[in-house]
Amino acid sequence: MEVESTNSINILTSGTVVKGDITATGDFRLDGTLEGNLQLNGKLVVGDTGSVTGNILCLNANIMGTVKGNLSVKESLTLYRNSRVEGDILINKLSIEPGAVFLGKCCMLDEVRQQQEQTV
């Protein structure tokens, strides 16, 4: 099933807490707290006050806040200087600013594809 992408921007503001999974077709800005998984067809921005405890699947992501869970980002991920990520990352392009904290392992999508092709 293919979900049509839209230009919508979803916002979860500071002070808001959501418990449960979120699926969205557009971009998403999170300045509040999410306790659940997040799946997007667009870009995710986790602001300075944003916090996610759960797994994330998206097209692109900019993390300035906290993520405790695994990230699967199809294109590019940027971890900014005050960010904290505790979990494994599956990514195509990764940028980490000095001061960012990353606790986990990172696999590049091209490497995973090559390993899968070698085992077939």
Task: Report residue 113's pLDDT band, with 50, 70 and 90 as the boundaries.
Answer: low
Is the pLDDT confidence value at 119 over 50? yes
DSSP state of 2: P
pLDDT of residue 110: 74
Q: How many helices (H) and strands (E) does the chain have?
A: 1, 16
Q: Where are the domains of the chain?
A: 9-119
Do 58 and 39 contact (CB within 8 A), yes or no?
yes
| Three-class DSSP category at 119 | helix
pLDDT tens, position by position, 77-90: 999 999 999 999 99
pLDDT tens, position by position, 26-51: 999 999 999 999 999 999 999 999 99
Mean pLDDT across the chain, nearest whole number?
90
Cα–Cα distance between 109 and 87 in angstroms, integer?
Answer: 16
Do 39 and 52 contact (CB within 8 A), yes or no?
no
